[in-house]
Amino acid sequence: MKNNFVDLFFTIGFFTLFYASSCYYFDENSIHSPFSQFWKAEMEYDDSTATRSLNVAAVSFELDTYPLINRNKILTFIDRITSEQPNVRLILFPEIALGYYHRPSNPGEYQRSVAETIPGETTNALSLKAIEYQIYISLGMTEKSGDVMYNSQVLIGPDGSIVSVHRKNYLTIQDNENGFKAGNGIAVDIIDGIKVATIICRDSNSLDVNKKIHENNAELVLLPLADAINPLRDLLPHHHTYTWILGTNRSGSEDGVHYNGMLFLSAPSGERRIRTTGGERYIYGTVKCR
C-alpha cells in the first residue's frame, strides 16, 4: 500500500510539472487528460474490420520570422508530399505556421505584422494547391478579423473553399501576450465519411472541449501544437480516448524557446501508430474507422 501511495505521489508530481511547463498549463477549466476516461479505452485498437479510411500526413518544420518564407516552405511540402504519397487526402501543418509563436520583445506588434485575414493571401495560395491535388489542407495562422486577432486553424477543401476555421478556445500566457482573443467551440467536419474535429494545443486539456469532441462523435482529432520541449512528455499516457489523433509540433528554436518537431498518429486506444521527433519532416499514415 505504501509503495502504491509513493508511486501515485510521484506520478501527480510529474503531471503537475508537465502541465505547468507546456501548452497544457493546468487551471480550473482544465483536466489532467490521462485521467479522463483513459482506463476505459481499448488496450489495442483492432481496425481489421474498418469500413472507412483516410490517408493523412502531418508536417513539422522550422519557422522563420517572415510569413513569405514560411508560406513557400508550406507550398513546397505540399508538392513533395503529394508527389511521394499520391493517395494523401489531408495534410496538417502546425499551430501559427506563418511566423514565430511568440516574440517576448514585442509579442502583440509582431503578431499583427504576420496576421492575415481568412480568406487572404496565404489561404488563396493553399486553395490553388488543394484544387490541384484534390486534398484537404489544415494550417495554423494568426487570423486578423477587423481589429481582433485569433490563434486559428483553417481547413481548406479540394474545391478550394474554406471548410472551417477553428479559433483556439483556451489561451496560454503567450497567447494572451500576443493579443489573441479566445474562440468558442470546436470545428467538426466530415472528410471521406469520417468525422474530423480540429482543436489547437491547450484546447486538448479542456474538459469542455473533450466533451464536445465526444458529443459530436468525432473519429479523428487534428491537434496542431506550439509546445516547447518537455523532458517528461514520454513518461505520460497519451491524451484523449476513443478517437484517432493526428498531431504536429513545430521544430527548432524561436527566440531561445526550443520545439522538438514531434509528429504522431495515435489510434483510439491511445497506442501511437507513428511517432517521430526532430528536424523538418512529415509522417504519412492511414486512419481506419470501423
3-class SS string, the chain: CHHHHHHHHHHHHHHHHHHHCCCCCCCCCECCHHHCCHHHCCCCCCCCCCCEEEEEEEEECECCCCHHHHHHHHHHHHHHHHHHCCCCCEEECCCCCCCCCCCCCCHHHHHHHHCECCCCHHHHHHHHHHHHHCCEEEEEEEEEECCEEEEEEEEECCCCCEEEEEECCCCCHHHHHHCECCCCCCEEEEECCEEEEECCHHHHHEHHHHHHHHHCCCCEEEEEECCECCCCHHHCCCCCCCCEEEEEECEEEECCEEEECCEEEECCCCCEEEEECCCCEEEEEEEEEC
Quick one: pLDDT at residue 23?
57
Instruction: Write phi, then psi, for 245 (nearest 5 degrees).
Output: -135, 125
Enumerate domains of the chain plus CATH numbers. Answer: 2-289 (3.60.110.10)
Which positions ≥6 away from 94 have C-beta within 8 Å?
A: 59, 60, 61, 140, 224, 225, 226, 248, 249, 250
Quick one: pLDDT at residue 163?
98
Quick one: pLDDT at residue 121?
98
Sign of CA dihedral 193, 237, 23, 211: positive
| Burial degree of 139 (CB within 10 A; 0-12, 13-18, 19+) | buried
What are the angstrom distances between the C-alpha of 174 and each of 17, 21, 92, 123, 267? 18, 12, 23, 25, 31
What gap in Å lies between CA 247 and CA 201, rounded to an integer? 9
Sign of CA dihedral 56, 62, 63, 66: negative
Quick one: pLDDT at residue 210?
87
Q: Cell 487534428 identifies what position?
A: 222
pLDDT tens digit string along 13-50? 434 433 433 454 444 444 444 434 444 556 788 999 99
pLDDT tens digit string along 69-110? 999 999 999 999 999 999 999 999 999 999 999 999 999 999
What gap in Å lies between CA 155 and CA 140, rounded to an integer? 9
Mean pLDDT, consecutive 10-residue stretches, the chain (290 aa), reads: 44 40 44 43 82 98 98 98 98 98 98 98 98 98 98 98 98 97 96 97 89 92 89 48 89 96 91 92 97
Quick one: pLDDT at residue 242?
79
What are the angstrom distances between the C-alpha of 200 and each of 31, 132, 154, 249? 15, 27, 11, 11
Quick one: pLDDT at residue 230?
62
